[in-house]
Amino acid sequence: MTTRAVLRETAYAKLNLALHVRERMADGYHRLETLFAFCADGDVLEAEPADDLSLTIDGPSGEGLEIDGNLVLRAADALRTHFGIERGARLRLTKNLPVASGIGGGSADAAAALRLLGRLWDVAIEDVQASGIASELGADVPACLISRTCAGSGRGDVLEEVSAPALSGKPVLLVNPRVAVSTPAIFGRWNGRDGGPLTLAEPVTPDPRWSNDLTAPATAMAPEIGEVLAWLGEQDGAEFVRMSGSGATCFALFANVAARDAAFAMLAQNQPGWWLLPSALR
């Protein structure tokens, strides 16, 4: 009996090292300037050949997620339609990242599906990138498709890769206090003031002038975010602390792995209900 190969792809957790909100545009979206970085860890997507498309979801954050309308299946359908593919795939998503937490989530899963099914169905990643499918699925999907450090403008979907060797391999600790925040509600609370341009000089290194202009409204809605940021900022070896996206996940870049792991161990003991991910930047 022939065993069909199972392909795997990581849906890398996305971080906004900076997120400057410049204005609200006529279409209701906000014009942003952001710096994306990606962790080595995330959700995991598997695929094997099949006649039809199907998806199962498991993992610590998978309970209650809907199959119908899931971005993984939407990405698969869009890829098949655009390239005229008649084959299917049996997909399995292991959901490790918390849902709606500012670190990519569904966007990263959709991007992983495009990369993975491109391999399964013999579609070159360059063709997938050029197809426009990613931006149609969501503003963060083009950056997640690349999953490398890049600057984003427009809705965050106009991308420019940047040189950032100092960030590659940088130890990072992600912390989510397990509070739900709504992205539309956070943007709705934005104060309307131009956050100013995001200035990047290559090679890119963390700059204390970088801000996340959504931190104040997110903290107003969920004060736990402020607690996480304050705690991370007090840890030995923490060099750069921010909230990612519209929250509620916060992160700290550390000077070394030992300092990151010490912070992780302390927080795991003191806040067992919080979600934690020790990782490194890609």
Express each pLDDT in 16-35 by its tens digit: 999 999 999 998 889 999 99
Specify whether 128 is located in the same domain as 188. no
Does the structure show a pLDDT above 60 at 270?
A: yes
Which residues contact residue 233 at a Cβ distance below 8 angstroms, ignoring those fewer than 6 apart? 241, 252
Specify whether 188 is located in the same domain as 274. yes
Q: Which of 113, 137, 161 is the last residue of a domain?
A: 161
Specify whether 148 is located in the same domain as 28. yes
* Cβ(75)–Cβ(32) below 8 Å: no
What mean pLDDT do residues 120-133 have? 95
Does the structure show a pLDDT above 50 at 143?
A: yes
Residue 137 lies in a domain: yes
Q: Which of 117, 136, 161 is the last residue of a domain?
A: 161
Specify whether 142 is located in the same domain as 230. no
Give the C-alpha separation, 21 to 32, whole Å. Answer: 5
pLDDT, averaged across the chain:
96
Residue 135 lies in a domain: yes
Specify whether 210 is located in the same domain as 137. no
pLDDT digit string, tens, across residues 70-86: 999 999 999 999 999 99
Please give the residue that has the higher pLDDT: either 148 or 5.
Answer: 148
pLDDT digit string, tens, across residues 57-113: 999 999 989 999 999 999 999 999 999 999 999 999 999 999 989 999 999 999 999
CATH number of the CATH domain containing 150: 3.30.230.10
Catalytic positions, please? 14, 140
Respond yes or no on whether the N-terminal peptide bond of residue 203 is cis (omega within 30° of 0).
yes
Specify whether 179 is located in the same domain as 262. yes
Specify whether 49 is located in the same domain as 150. yes
Residue 239 lies in a domain: yes
Domain count, the chain: 2
What mean pLDDT do residues 246-269 have? 98
What mean pLDDT do residues 186-196 have? 93
Does the structure show a pLDDT above 90 at 180?
A: no
Residue 1 lies in a domain: no
CATH number of the CATH domain containing 239: 3.30.70.890
Residue 215 lies in a domain: yes
Q: What percent of the chain has pLDDT over 90?
A: 95
Strand partners, 72: none
Which parts of the chain are beta strand (E)? 7-24, 30-50, 53-58, 88-94, 150-154, 158-161, 171-176, 238-243, 250-254, 275-280
Does the structure show a pLDDT above 60 at 3?
A: no
Give the confidence band of 4 by pLDDT, cuts at 50, 70, 90.
low
* Domain span holding position 184: 171-280
Residue 2 lies in a domain: no
Specify whether 226 is located in the same domain as 103. no
Specify whether 37 is located in the same domain as 105. yes
Specify whether 154 is located in the same domain as 185. no
Specify whether 142 is located in the same domain as 177. no
Q: Which of 161, 190, 216 is the last residue of a domain?
A: 161
Specify whether 33 is located in the same domain as 136. yes
